[in-house]
Amino acid sequence: MFGNRPLNVLRLLAALVVIPAAMRWAGDSRGGDVERLRWMAGCWELAARGRVIHEQWMAPAGGMMLGMSRTVVRDSVREYEQLRIETRNGVATYVAQPSGQAATTFAATHVSDSSVTFANPAHDFPQRIMYHRVGADSLIARIEGDRGGKLQGMTFPMRRAACGE
């Protein structure tokens, strides 16, 4: 029964770790960490120097949040992005498809009731996408990553805005 005792002990330890985690993920129909990001739901705006960025997130449902972003300079759309946050392999995952390009995924490395960090170290830029809630009416979005051996980033302080305008 215990012929190769060290190997059996390792298998038992692995089962004690993996099986409960798999059961938790499989049984979480709300999307786990996605549900904790409900504070991101709504419409957000950053207006500065003739540029207006609107970002909108639907509340979590079915383990997913759908979002979109649009940057307008004067009267022209400069950038747009289709976004979603969904659970993949038990991890909240940010999926961005900017201006019709191929989608890129970023897995959550930190999730709380007021902040989230998504990362994809293999992506050119950004490699991290972060959101931090600042009160009920504002949040700070930040993208950052390594460019030429230097950490670079952009911060987007946004205020809650009316949806549909």
38's tokens:
């409900």
CATH number at residue 125: 2.40.128.20
Please report which confidence band the pLDDT of residue 16 belongs to, taking 50, 70 and 90 as the band edges.
very low
The answer to whether residues 23 and 66 belong to one domain is: no
| Mean of per-residue pLDDT scores for the chain | 85
Tell me if the pTM is above 0.85. no
Q: Domain range for residue 146?
A: 31-161
- Which of 71-80's residues contact partners 24+ apart within 8 Å by CB, and which partners? 74/50, 78/51
Distance CA 146, CA 162 (A): 35
The answer to whether residues 9 and 73 belong to one domain is: no
The answer to whether residues 24 and 40 belong to one domain is: no
Question: In the predicted model, is pLDDT for residue 47 greater than 50?
Answer: yes
The answer to whether residues 11 and 38 belong to one domain is: no
pLDDT tens per residue across span 100-139? 999 999 999 999 999 999 999 999 999 999 999 999 899 9
162's tokens:
């009316």
